[in-house]
Amino acid sequence: MIVSPDVIGMIIALFAFTLTVLGGVATMLAKQTKTLDARFDRMEVRMDRMDGRMDRLDDRMDRMDSRFDRIDDRFDRIDDRFDRVEGELVEVKIAIARIEGPRRHLQQL
C-alpha cells in the first residue's frame, strides 16, 4: 500500500499542530498552577496571621473571663454579707418586738 506524500505531510502537520496545541495547554496549565500556588501561599500567610490574631483574642477573652469570675466571686461575697445583715436585722426586729411586748388588742375603758 502506497501512501502519498501529501497524506504523510498532512499527518505530520496534524501531529505538529496537536503537539503545539497540547504544548500551549500544558504551558497554560503550568501558569495557572503557579498562579494558584502563589495565591494559596498568600492565603496561607493570611490565615496564619489570622490564627495569630485569633490566639491573641482567645487570650484576651480568657483574661476577661477570669476578671468576670473574680467579679462574680465579689458579688457572691457581697450577697452573703447582705444575707447575714438581713438575718441580723430580722433578729434585731424580733428582739425589739419582744422588748415592746405584744400589742394590745383590747382598749381599756
pLDDT tens digit sequence for 83-103: 999 999 999 988 888 887 766
Percent of the chain as helix, strand, coil, to the nearest 5: 90, 0, 10
- Tell me, what's the pLDDT at 74? 97
Q: Is the dihedral of CA 100, 101, 107, 109 positive or negative?
A: negative
Q: Looking at residues 20-33, what average pLDDT do you find?
A: 96
Q: Return the ∠ at Cα 19 (arms to 16 and 35), rounded to 5°.
A: 145
Q: Looking at residues 5-19, what average pLDDT do you find?
A: 94
* Distance separating alpha carbons of residues 95 and 7, to the nearest angstrom: 125
Q: Looking at residues 62-84, what average pLDDT do you find?
A: 97
Percentage, residues of the chain above pLDDT 90: 79
- All cell numbers assigned to 7: 497524506
| Segment 31-50, tens digit of pLDDT | 999 999 999 999 999 999 99
* Distance separating alpha carbons of residues 18 and 31, to the nearest angstrom: 20
Q: How many CA atoms lie within 13 A of 90 on its CB side?
A: 5
